[in-house]
Amino acid sequence: MKRLSWDQYFMAQSHLLANRSTCPRLAVGATIVRDKRIIAGGYNGSISGGIHCIDEGCYMIDGHCVRTIHAEMNAILQCAKFGVPTQGAEIYVTHFPCLQCCKAIIQSGIKTVYYAADYKNHPYAIELFESAKVKTIKVPFDNFFEQNNQQEKLELFADVLKKLENAGVDEKEIRAFYEKAQSIFSNGV
């Protein structure tokens, strides 16, 4: 079995956290790490005990949901709440941080931002990170768990299609199944 790299381990944690998001527009997760130890995690959602966008819709002003607190901010605030220093830490985020989160990351003393996907990368955020000497490193997330089972799934699906063909199922139907399988397996990894 292949062992996860540290970057993939922490990025996987961020993707797991994103599954807690209550934002229907984009699920984001963030993990703050110091000395190869997770010190905080966050996801985008409403304030604790507040109304969630998934329940009542987004509260939009000027094209932005004002109800949501971003994942990076939630992770930083978790450190503040529990008195955990962020100076010199690293943050792993599923998406490139917005301008406001960029500023919070810089102010918190975090020195490296690892992100899995580009998302409206603001030019001024990039400039601020550079001037503050905060490294930004793109680390595309390799879904380790899907990769391990991908070949088995593909082989099973090929066997089922072959049995359908042998059973006399219409060639057009089999082709439609084949095309659907191609789209599933090409997007799965």
DSSP output for 125-168: HHHHHHHTT-EEEE-----HHHHHHHHHHHHHHHHHHHHHHHTT
Strands 135-138 and 112-117: parallel
Q: To 5 degrees, how large is the angle CA 154–CA 160–CA 165? A: 125
Q: Are 124 and 66 in contact, with CB atoms under 8 Å apart? A: no
Local structure of residue 35 (DSSP, 8 states) = T
Task: Give the tokens for residue 16.
Answer: 């797991």
User: Catalytic site residues?
Assistant: 72
